[in-house]
Amino acid sequence: MRFSISQLKQFARCPYSYYLKYKEGIKIGGNINLVVGRAIHKGFEMAIKSIKTTGSFAQKDIEEVVNAEFDLLIEQGEHGDASEEQIEEGKERLKIGLEAFKIYNFPKQRDIIAVEEKFVSPDFIDGNEIVGYPDLITTDAVIDFKTKFRTPSEVDRGDFFQVGYYATLGDSDKAVLVYVILLKKGVKIIEREFVGKELEQAKTLARQTLQIFDTAIKEAEVNGVWIPSGFATGVCSWCEYGKQGLCEFGCGGKIKI
C-alpha cells in the first residue's frame, strides 16, 4: 500500500479525523482561506524553482502564477460554500500575500538541492511506501512553507510530525517551518527553526506516529476494529469534524468498521 504525508499528518493531528476522512470518505468542504493558501504556496514553489534554474525570479511572473492558481481552484470549487463577497475578500488577501515574495529571504541558487521533488520511503510501515514532497531542501535544512491568517501561538502537531519525518528521511540536522502570515494590514514572515533536542523530538513524534498508524491498520485488518485515537492532540477545539457534529467518540474511542 502507499500512504501520503497528508494522510499521516491527519493521523498525527487526530487518528479519528483520519478515520473519518480516509476510511469513511467523509471530507470537509474547501474554503476560501485554503484557496488563498494553496495559491501562495504555488507561488513559492515556482519562485524557488526559478531561482534553482536561473538564479532569480520575476515578481510579475510569480503574480501571474499565483492569480492563475487562485482562479483555477475557484473554478474547481475548492472554495466550498464561500460567497462572492468572501471570494473578493480572498482576492484582497491574495494581493497582500504577494508582498511576501518581496520580503522573504530566498536561498541562493547554489544552496538549493530539491524543490517539491517526490520522496518515497518504503522503510517505516512493513515495506509500505510513504510518499511526500518536501517544499524545499537546501544544503542547510529541510524547509516547509505554511500560509496562515493569524500568528500561530504554537506549532501544529501535524506540521511538527511533517518536519520530523522529512528531517529523518533527509538525515538533516535542521528543519524550518516558514509561516507566511496574511494579516488584514499586511504580510509578515516568521521562520521557526528546529535543531538539536527539539528536532529530535519531532523525529521521535514521526517514528511514534508511524508505529501507532501501523498498529491501527493491522488491528483493523485483523479484527475489523479501528482505534481512532490513542493520545490527546489538543486539536478538538478547532476540528472541523467536531464543529459539524461528525465526531461522536472523541479521544480513545473504538468503532467497528
DSSP string, 35-74: HHHHHHHHHHHHHHHHHHHHS---HHHHHHHHHHHHHHHH
Which range (7-16, 34-43, 67-76, 111-120) has the least confidence?
7-16
The pLDDT score that the predictor gives to residue 60 is: 97
Residue 154 maps to a domain: yes
- For 130, the domain range is 1-24+111-228
* Cα gap 104→33, rounded to integer Å: 21
User: Percent of the chain, pLDDT > 70?
Assistant: 85
Binned at pLDDT 50, 70 and 90, residue 175 comes out as very high
Same domain, 94 and 154: no
Q: Are strands 174-183 and 119-125 parallel, antiparallel or unpaired?
A: unpaired
| Entry pTM | 0.84
Which residue type does 121 have? S
The domain total for the chain is 2
CB of 66 within 8 A of CB of 39? yes
Binned at pLDDT 50, 70 and 90, residue 227 comes out as low
Reported as a single tens digit per residue, the pLDDT across 134-156 is 999 999 999 999 999 999 888 88
The pLDDT score that the predictor gives to residue 123 is: 58
Same domain, 102 and 124: no
The pLDDT score that the predictor gives to residue 14 is: 75
| Residue 94, pLDDT above cutoff 90 | yes
The total of other beta-carbon atoms located within 10 Å of residue 33's CB is 18
